[in-house]
Amino acid sequence: MEVFRFLRSDEDLKKGLSAKDPDANVSVEKHVVSGTDDGFKSQFISCCKTLKAALIFAKKSHTYPKRIVKIKIRPSINILDLTIPDNQMKYFPFNQKAKNYANKFKEVLILGDVPPNSLAPPDGWSSVHIPDAAWLLVEGL
């Protein structure tokens, strides 16, 4: 399995990926609805199940440079797939906003670190910087 992440400007692929606050105890629901708020920190790393969903997220963001990385999910990486209806019912049964976000961005959470050897540019890209042609996938969205 692989997922995609729109990178923050301070993320360095040579160091791998880590949550903003690995020791936090934030609920899945709170992370999904607040994860992009200024100053918000949690123990999760948000990812998208599809490149298209990551591009949609990147298009809406004011973060530069625009970079997306492909993450190979290895057995040592713990994930929570929030596109699965049973997981949505378990973690945010009454929060339609959280369900909408999880569905729109095909959200998958990673708990823990992602080593550098699990990171690569998306297939067909020469680097993690979003090529102009990739924006055609989300034109009009």
Confidence (pLDDT) at 94: 96
Instruction: Please give the Cα distance from 79 to 102 (Å, whole number).
Output: 14
User: 65: cis peptide before it, omega within 30°?
Assistant: yes
Q: Tokens for 83, please give them.
A: 């596109």
Instruction: Please give the Cα distance from 76 to 54 (Å, whole number).
Output: 23
What is the dihedral sign for C-alpha 101, 106, 109, 113?
negative
DSSP string, 69-125: EEEE--TTSEEEETTSHHHHHHH-TT-HHHHHHHHHTTEEEEES-B-GGGEEPPTT-
Confidence (pLDDT) at 41: 94
The domain limits of the chain are 2-138
Confidence (pLDDT) at 36: 79
Confidence (pLDDT) at 141: 66
Per-position pLDDT tens, the chain of length 141: 999 999 999 999 999 999 999 999 999 999 999 987 788 999 999 999 999 999 999 998 988 899 999 999 999 899 999 999 999 999 999 999 999 999 999 999 999 999 999 999 999 999 999 999 999 988 876
The yes/no answer on whether domain 2-138 falls in CATH 3.40.190.10 is no
